[in-house]
Amino acid sequence: MDILPILSTLRRHKLTAWLLILEIALTCAIVCNAVFLIGQRLQRMDMPSGVAEHELLQIQVADVTTPSNPYARLAEDVALLRQVPGVQSVASSNQVPFGVSSSNGNIRLDPAQPERTLSATTYFGENIPQTLGTRLVSGRDLQSDDFVDVETAMKGLSTGDSKSLPHVTLITQTLAERLWPGQNSLGRLIYLTPTVGLRVVGVLDSLARPNAYDPAKAQFTMVVPLRMGANKDQSYVIRTRSEDRANVLAAAVAALKKADPDRVVTTKRSFDEVRRKFFQDDRAMAGILTGVIVALLIVTALGIVGLASFWVAQRRRTIGVRRALGATRSNILHYFQAENFVLATFGIALGMALAFGINLFLMTHYELPRLPAVYFPVGALLLWVIGQLAVLGPALRAAAVPPVVATRSV
């Protein structure tokens, strides 16, 4: 197929041709970036939690009046929950991965250091690694004599009595690698306050923070042996078989209510729900972006159909003459297909530059990474295919123009 006649024809319809090129370019640029954004969101939604997600339940209960001994109350509740059929393990924790509400500490490696090294989340409570199902990579787990009552620790902190503070901690592999790259982290000290040095006794495979908004910091996690009392913000985390979750959750809530009908169950959910809720905006955004891509492609395709139809109608006589001079139907068909391909190619080339520009803007305003090169051919291919599909109908109509048209005057 000779490209020169196509170009010379387009030169006679400059304005229309440029409009079509511009439309394809804009669509291409937006689609490239939108597909990239969808990829980012899906990747975020896949963020690992490090826990046995399909086997966990979270319950929060709140007392109407503060119990006289919250530690005893919590121990009773945990013992009660362990009795519920189907329960494999029970933990009490101040927070859960992706649970939003979080406790965080500023880590210093040297107590005299002026600025913090980083901020890590701190899990407080008993049986956390075992119940949540995060693996110990090295060192040991927390033992019962490591634990300190949280109120004792608070008082110790304000009076400067370091004896009543916890002395050990578990950290994740990611945090260990970030603090001491390439070195053994066991036995090293982490300072959360000028007086509390926590010795790393164990390294966990993975445990995400409740406020995992930045994937790079999602695994900056410590588990500190503080014994928490029963309170509104403390969670009971239950491990069970995934098929038993609904029954166990109902039975566990019933058992807690039975022990004290006056308290309020504020949270009862599976960990699947925790994850779904945390990433709900990402899911919605991915859906919206998909909708916009589809709508854009439809509008562009319809625009191509409209313009191509117009051109075919305008050139009926010319087509008739070409047919009369010996052009076959497929010659005519290919002509219009090639014309669309040329326009699409121009549009795509312009669109790539535009896509790059939009990405630069997003990088500065929305802290997005650079658009990987792989998205460019994807966008190009998509628009070529859409263009060819859209032009097929009008091109077939053009091919059906009989040669006799050439001899008729309108």
Partner 1 sequence: MFGYYLDLALRSLRRNKMLTALMVLAIALGIGASMTTLTVLHVLSGDPLPGRSDHLYYAQIDPQDIKGMDSSKEPPEQVTLIDGLNLLHAGRADHQALMSGGSVPVQPEQSSLDPFYVEARYTTADFFGMFDAPFLYGHGWTAAEGEAKARDVVIAKSLNDKLFAGTNSVGRTLRMAGVSFRVVGVLDSWQPNPHFYDLNTGSYAYGEQVFVPLQTMVELRLDRGGSTDCWGNGGGGVGNILPSNDCVWLQFWVQLDSPAKAAAYREFLVHYSLDQKALGRFQRAPNVRLPNVMQWLDYNKVVPSDVRLQNGLAFGFLLVCLVNTVGLMLAKFMRRASELGVRRALGASRRALFAQLLIESGVVGLVGGVGGLVLAMFGLWLVRQRPSDYAALAHLDLSMLFVTFVLAVLATLLAGLLPAWRACQIAPALQLKSN
Q: Which is nearer to partner 1, 128 or 296 (CB)?
A: 296
Q: Which is nearer to partner 1, 23 or 55 (CB)?
A: 23
What phi and psi, each to the nearest 5 degrees, are found at residue 251? -65, -40
Size of interface with partner 1, in residues (CB under 8 A): 65
Nearest to 55 by CA among 209, 223, 249, 235: 249
Nearest to 348 by CA among 311, 387, 310: 387
43 binds partner 1 (CB under 8 A): no
Nearest to 57 by CA among 94, 96, 100, 98: 96
Interface positions, 232-261, toward partner 1 (CB under 8 A): 232
The least distance separating partner 1 from the CB of residue 233, rounded to whole angstroms, comes to: 8
Nearest to 111 by CA among 196, 32, 19: 196
Both tokens of 319, joined, read 């087509």
Q: Candidates 1-9, 139-147, 154-162, 211-219 — which segment interacts with partner 1 by CB under 8 A?
A: 154-162
Choosing from 1, 259, 264, 353, the residue that interacts with partner 1 (CB under 8 A) is 264
Interface positions, 163-222, toward partner 1 (CB under 8 A): 193-195
Q: Are strands 168-172 and 197-204 parallel, antiparallel or unpaired?
A: parallel
Question: What's the rounded Cα separation, in Å, for the pair 288 and 291?
Answer: 5
Choosing from 42, 135, 306, 378, the residue that interacts with partner 1 (CB under 8 A) is 306
Question: What's the rounded Cα separation, in Å, for the pair 57 and 374?
Answer: 40
Q: Candidates 3-11, 56-64, 176-184, 371-379 — which segment interacts with partner 1 by CB under 8 A?
A: 56-64
The least distance separating partner 1 from the CB of residue 369, rounded to whole angstroms, comes to: 15
Question: What's the rounded Cα separation, in Å, for the pair 224 and 227?
Answer: 9
Q: 87 with 246: CB under 8 angstroms? A: no
Burial class (CB in 10 A: 0-12, 13-18, 19+), 410: exposed
Residues 369-408, one symbol each (x = binds partner 1 by CB under 8 A, - = not), give ----------------------------------------
Question: What's the rounded Cα separation, in Å, for the pair 373 and 279?
Answer: 27
The least distance separating partner 1 from the CB of residue 165, rounded to whole angstroms, comes to: 10
Q: Which is nearer to partner 1, 246 or 299 (CB)?
A: 299
Sign of the CA dihedral 154, 157, 162, 167?
positive
Nearest to 351 by CA among 41, 21, 87: 21
Both tokens of 27, joined, read 């669509």
319 binds partner 1 (CB under 8 A): no
Q: Which is nearer to partner 1, 46 or 115 (CB)?
A: 115
The least distance separating partner 1 from the CB of residue 158, rounded to whole angstroms, comes to: 5
Query: For binding to partner 1 (CB under 8 A), which residues are involved?
Result: 15-16, 19-20, 22-23, 26-27, 30, 34, 37, 62-66, 70, 103, 106, 113-116, 150-151, 153-155, 157-158, 160, 193-195, 228-229, 231-232, 262-264, 266, 277, 280-281, 284-285, 288-289, 292, 295-296, 299-300, 302-303, 306-307, 310-311, 313-314, 362, 366, 410
